[in-house]
Amino acid sequence: MYKKVFCVAILLLILAAVAPVFAQDDVVVRFRSWSPVIATTNAMIEAFNAENPDITIEPDITNYPEYLVDLQTMAAGGSLPDLIGLEPGALTQQYRDHLMPMQNCAVSTWGEDWEDQFFPVGIEQARLGNPEGDDNIYGLPVLVQTINMWYTVPVYEEAGLEPPATYDELKEQADMFNAQGIAPVMIGAGDGWIRRDVYMQLIHNVAPGLIYEAEDGMASFTDEPFVEAMTWWQRLFDDGIFQMGALGMSHYPAAVEQIQAGRAAMFPMGAWWMQQAGNPDPPPLDENLSGYAPFKFPDVTGMGAPEDLLGGIDVMLGVTRDSANPDAACKVITDFISGAGAQALINTYNDLPAYIGLRPAAFGSENQEAVWDLFTEDWLASVQYARQLKSPDVKQALEDALAAVAAGEMTPAEGMQLVQDANSM
């Protein structure tokens, strides 16, 4: 009995040692990212290979938080893949030393005036956080986005209402929806990023652009406007604008499931919400995006909210310095941005293209097309400020402070002090 078991085990052990050996015949480009999802990535690769059969792309797509862990460990282990997905700002800066400047690749593909072929915000943010004098672009933008609010169309039709434009309207509608057992604003505030997204929109309402000055030390996070925005954040919880227990819920998947089931009147999200229509087996509201429409964050202060939205790059791609085939990697990236791969990507409505002029091959409904046009022609052009922050420490502190204030463990002023402390470190 023992003998048999041990023989099998030793066999397994040997297998284990030799298993991860990969066949390598022609040019291989290893690609890792959290976005686009694997099904979309495979479609993009297929489209790319139809024209470039000599390059093999090996994709590896993981969920965002675990992608960061993988990236970190691979960088430390000196085994970064050729092509990696990046966010502008903190994430790109962290890996800057491992990334190649992309300008040459861009010029050789799109010509000298290549920057004009992208939405300006994409180019601007690609350099976000670069040190003085470093004008290199370490990642080329693939998808861009805005952050905004959405509402559930049938819920509003039934109520005979329009989405709110001021805080008073928001509060009034919230009371009504609460009484019906519908979440007025559904948020999974257990996730730090969505807390931050909402706060960024609040501070943008109170004092546009100020937070970026504070990041650079030209203003303090303890200044009055920041505390005021934080106070609004607190009120969204205290006034029952957000659904009960929001702080213990994840935005994905918990809040999303409720939204898809039609139990949310409004929800904070971004342009990427359009991708719901491209998912397999969509529930009725998702189908052709028939159930949702975007609107701008209500003017909570009542002093007149700025016209522009926050946004920027959703995902960009960079080539690592260790890449054995930088030319092939460049070919893949540029195809994913403006070629057949890009078209396959856009066809899933994953998010807005960074490269101007791409359009999905087909829309399923008029609403869907109208939403697309609103984003690409109107809202995206007005984006001035980033959704992201530069420093990971400030980002973490802000997310912590938002949770603490929402939980009633800190006053808004104390919360902002926490952020300021993180910034001055």
Pick from 101, 306, 364, 392 the residue near other proteins by CB under 8 A: 392
- 144 touches other proteins by CB under 8 A: no
The burial class, CB within 10 Å (0-12 / 13-18 / 19+), for 9 is exposed
Q: Which stretch binds other proteins (CB under 8 A): 254-262, 302-310, 342-350, 354-362?
A: 254-262
- 35 touches other proteins by CB under 8 A: yes
What residues numbered 333-372 form the site for other proteins, per CB under 8 A? none
Pick from 161, 176, 254, 413 the residue near other proteins by CB under 8 A: 254
What residues numbered 74-103 form the site for other proteins, per CB under 8 A? 74-79, 94-95, 97-98
Q: Which stretch binds other proteins (CB under 8 A): 69-77, 227-235, 300-308, 327-335?
A: 69-77
Pick from 46, 51, 60, 213 the residue near other proteins by CB under 8 A: 60
Pick from 223, 239, 257, 308 the residue near other proteins by CB under 8 A: 257
Q: Which stretch binds other proteins (CB under 8 A): 14-22, 45-53, 116-124, 153-161?
A: 14-22
Q: Which stretch binds other proteins (CB under 8 A): 6-14, 108-116, 196-204, 309-317?
A: 6-14
- Paired with 317 in beta bridges are 85, 140
Q: Least distance to other proteins from the beta carbon of 82, Å?
A: 14
What residues numbered 264-293 form the site for other proteins, per CB under 8 A? 276, 279-284
Say how far apart CA 272 and CA 315 lie, in whole Å: 11
Pick from 109, 205, 234, 258 the residue near other proteins by CB under 8 A: 258
Whether cis (ω within 30° of 0) applies to the bond prior to 253 is: yes
Give the pairing of strands 310-319 and 352-353. unpaired
Say how far apart CA 145 and CA 267 lie, in whole Å: 16
- 28 touches other proteins by CB under 8 A: no
The tokens for 156 are 């509003």
Nearer Cβ to other proteins (99/383): 99
CB atoms within 10 A of CB 255: 26
- 324 touches other proteins by CB under 8 A: no
- 37 touches other proteins by CB under 8 A: yes
Amino acid at 171: K
Say how far apart CA 189 and CA 165 lie, in whole Å: 22
> Do residues 148 and 236 make contact, with C-beta atoms less than 8 angstroms apart?
no
The burial class, CB within 10 Å (0-12 / 13-18 / 19+), for 354 is buried
The CA R_g of the chain, rounded to the nearest whole Å, is 23
Instruction: Give alpha helix (H) positions in 139-191.
Output: 153-159, 167-179
Nearer Cβ to other proteins (13/303): 13
φ/ψ bin of 42: left (φ > 0), alpha (ψ from -120 to 50), beta (otherwise): alpha
What residues numbered 165-224 form the site for other proteins, per CB under 8 A? 183, 186, 189-190
Nearer Cβ to other proteins (105/319): 319
- 73 touches other proteins by CB under 8 A: yes
Polymer length of the chain:
425
- 396 touches other proteins by CB under 8 A: yes
- 154 touches other proteins by CB under 8 A: no
Say how far apart CA 145 and CA 271 lie, in whole Å: 5
